[in-house]
Amino acid sequence: MPATTPLIARALLLDMDSTIVNSEAVVERCWRRWAAEQGLDADEVLKVVHGRQGWATMAALLPDRPMELNHEDNRRMLEQETADVEGVVPVPGAPAFMAALAQLPHALVTSADRALSDARMGAAGLPMPDVRITAESVSASKPDPEGFLKGAAELGYAPEDCVVFEDSEAGIAAGRAAGMRVVGVGERAAAFGPDVHVRDLREVRVEALADGSIALHIAA
């Protein structure tokens, strides 16, 4: 990995889907099915589903639809997604990245609920962080910063001391709104203005510094 100026943090906040876990196949299957039920163009739906809780995506796509129907569909889709782990694998570099974080302050901040995060992290063979913020933990979906702010608070660090890892427009916006620096992961993230962009987690090396902080060495 080429030498770079490291990004220094006290704690890391990690999105799950498409950031450390590749669940794109499941997401596409479930949302294509929902789009067909609603008579929507599935390709257009898939452009906006990433990062948000399901009900928030539905509300954005069908603004005149009663919210109770969105919550009902969201519950049904969460059950389907939790049961379907075919094709769920770690993002390249994620196992080594998570192993490097094992003794360092970090949290999962995901729009998935606890059951879905258990299923996907387990299917990908990744360790669950001791601190996780899930759909049940917040009152607002990304791009609202609530989840990241709660993650930082639970870890005991100020927002400016945290670095977020995200893939989606909503997630990157949430990290920025929380006052945090953002590493965008994957091809999709590059378009949304993260502070740093990597193709995958093989381009990140984690170093624990003597003062307790974390140096993130990013491939050029």
Q: What is the pLDDT of residues 173-204, one digit of tens each?
A: 999 999 999 999 999 999 999 999 999 999 99
Mind listing the pLDDT tens digit for each residue in 114-150? 999 999 999 999 999 999 999 999 999 999 999 999 9
In the structure, what pLDDT confidence band is assigned to residue 1 with cuts at 50, 70 and 90?
very low
Q: Which residues are catalytic?
A: 15, 17
In a domain, 127, yes or no: yes
User: Do residues 164 and 151 lie in contact, with contact meaning Cβ atoms separated by under 8 Å?
Assistant: no
- The CB density around residue 36, as the number of other CB atoms within 10 Å, is 12
Mind listing the pLDDT tens digit for each residue in 202-216? 999 999 999 999 999
Domain stop point among 38, 63, 83? 83
Quick check: bond before 143 cis, omega within 30? Answer: yes
Q: Would you state the pLDDT for residue 27?
A: 87
**DSSP state letters, 49-73:** -TTS-HHHHHHHH-TTS-HHHHHHH
In a domain, 2, yes or no: no
Interacting residues of 143 by C-beta distance below 8 A, sequence separation 6+: 51, 52, 169, 170, 171, 173, 174, 177
Question: Among residues 162, 64, 159, 22, which one has the least CA distance to residue 106?
Answer: 162
Q: What domain range includes position 171?
A: 7-22+88-218
Tokens 């769920």, residue? Answer: 88
